[in-house]
Amino acid sequence: GESVGLHLPTLSVQEGDNSIINCAYSNSASDYFIWYKQESGKGPQFIIDIRSNMDKRQGQRVTVLLNKTVKHLSLQIAATQPGDSAVYFCAETSIRGSNYKLTFGKGTLLTVNP
């Protein structure tokens, strides 16, 4: 689970292993989810998104899984590389209304060991 205060959840993996980063969301009305990658001192970069009418979506080396029953989202990175080291965070919103702004999670720090 997430830590409080300044400490992010961390995940340390060996180069070449698969990584799984988790995100729990609380709003049952959320139906659109986005994963971002943020390297140290830089702005977040879009990785992949998924709508609630899907359970799974694949990109290049990344897969997002959505479990609406338990309000849980995961990002899987295949064959993790040192360049994948960053903070990963999810964002949620609802696309049904026009005024639901994005809510961001605190993130998970992924460290890839060569």
Task: Return residues touching other proteins (CB under 8 A).
Answer: 3, 5-8, 32, 34, 36, 41-46, 49, 89, 91, 93-95, 97-107
- Could you tell me the smallest distance in angstroms from the CB atom of residue 41 to other proteins? 7
- Pick between residue 4 and residue 114 the one whose CB is nearest to other proteins: 4
Q: Which is closer to other proteins, CB of 84 or CB of 92? A: 92
Of residues 74 and 104, the one with the C-beta less far from other proteins: 104
Q: d(Cα 30, Cα 21) in Å, to the nearest integer?
A: 19
Query: What is the spatial distance between Cα 29 and Cα 40, in angstroms, rounded to a whole number?
Result: 32
Q: Which is nearer to other proteins, 28 or 114 (CB)?
A: 28
Least distance to other proteins from the beta carbon of 60, Å?
17
Tokens read off for 65: 């899984």
Q: Taking the CA of residue 2 as centre, how many other CA atoms within 13 Å lie in the half-sphere pointing to its CB? A: 15
Least distance to other proteins, CB of residue 18, Å: 25
Q: How far is the CB of 35 from other proteins (least distance, A)?
A: 11
User: Can you give 13-78 as a three-state secondary structure string?
Assistant: EECCCCEEEEEECCCCCCCEEEEEEECCCCCCEEEEEEECCCCEEECCCEEEEEECCCCEEEEEEC
